[in-house]
Amino acid sequence: MEIIDGKTLATDIRGNLKLEVQELKYKGIIPNLAVILVGEDKPSQIYVKNKSKACLEIGIKYEEFLLDRNIKMEQLLSLIDTLNEREDIHGILLQSPMPKHLNSDEAFERISPKKDVDGFNPVNVGKLCLKQDGFVSCTPAGIMKMFEKYNISLEGKNAVVLGRSNIVGKPMSLCLLNKDSTVTICHSKTQNLSEITKNADIIVVALGKPKFLTKDMIKEGAVVIDVGINRIENGIIGDVDFESVKEIASYITPVPGGVGPMTIAMLMQNVVKAAKNTLENSKQTCTILAK
């Protein structure tokens, strides 16, 4: 059994991004991420803080917009419009969950697909579905990097995704399908779950249920990816019963130190990509003008 070390891999990626950002700065571009946080959701505050720290370390500019929890939808959309227009901002991230009275689908759709570094806009979801280049949701993107780094082949493999969220489960399934896995998506209404998971070569668990996946639910040699971040008194635990599952898995991600750091690294990568795209676009404009 090998433990997939997301922390070290994420540190390497961040190191490379730092160099890329320096190069971009020579070309006159400072990647800039705008983060919108509505209300005072505690976990969201922690996520946002971690994202800001990563930006600082890499040299990405970071602007935070903290909005009152009672803000009206029109005000939120108007802020997004302003950020879409600003040429010095390359990425826009709207932290979820948002207060119930706000329509998060409408808000994510309003973010320009070119600045949608979370990959939540329907245009980017559609591109992923069609296997076209776009922004891919950061957690699935980070998990795909892990497979690549550890030479875990996906072609023809039975991949089972537990959870069907728009942020993780659905895009994860598309990523695996795009790499020719045979994908099954399971959710709260799935019947005979263990029969399905026991047949999996690769299992991604994104349910938000502490220690949900146990040793008796998987086959020997399965690759187990744990997306869970469940807060307990003295830290966080995953959706996988790590101690028992590690005895028979071939690869397993720990919590903490697995998927979490990769999510942030992929967000940083998407911001750098968005900034680079503006450079490409301005080159094209120059060529057209020169003709």
| Listed ranges 16-24, 94-102, 232-240, 245-253: which one lies at the site for ligand GUN (CB under 6 A) | 94-102
Our answer to whether residue 51 is catalytic in this structure is yes
CA–CA gap between residue 85 and residue 108 (Å, rounded): 16
CA–CA gap between residue 291 and residue 287 (Å, rounded): 6
DSSP labels, 94-149: E-SS--TTS-HHHHHHHS-TTT-TT--SHHHHHHHHTT-SS---HHHHHHHHHHHH
Contact code string over 46-75 relative to ligand GUN, x by CB under 6 A: -x----------------------------
Our answer to whether residue 118 is catalytic in this structure is yes
Which one among 20, 118, 201, 226 touches ligand GUN, defined by CB under 6 A? 118
Residue 79 lies near ligand GUN (rule: CB under 6 A): no
Least separation, in Å, of the C-beta of 249 and ligand GUN? 25
Residue 93 lies near ligand GUN (rule: CB under 6 A): yes
Residue 270 lies near ligand GUN (rule: CB under 6 A): no
Our answer to whether residue 211 is catalytic in this structure is no
Least separation, in Å, of the C-beta of 62 and ligand GUN? 14
CA–CA gap between residue 109 and residue 142 (Å, rounded): 23
| Listed ranges 1-9, 87-95, 144-152, 231-239: which one lies at the site for ligand GUN (CB under 6 A) | 87-95
Residue 34 lies near ligand GUN (rule: CB under 6 A): no
Collect all residues with Cβ–Cβ distance below 8 Å to 28 and sequence separation of at least 6. none
Alpha helix segments (H runs only) across the chain: 6-26, 42-58, 73-85, 104-110, 122-129, 138-149, 169-178, 193-197, 242-245, 259-290
Which one among 94, 107, 117, 225 touches ligand GUN, defined by CB under 6 A? 94
Q: Give the residue numbers annotated as catalytic, written as ranges.
A: 51, 95, 118
Q: Please give the residue ranges that form the binding site for ligand GUN (CB under 6 A).
A: 47, 93-96, 118, 138, 167, 263
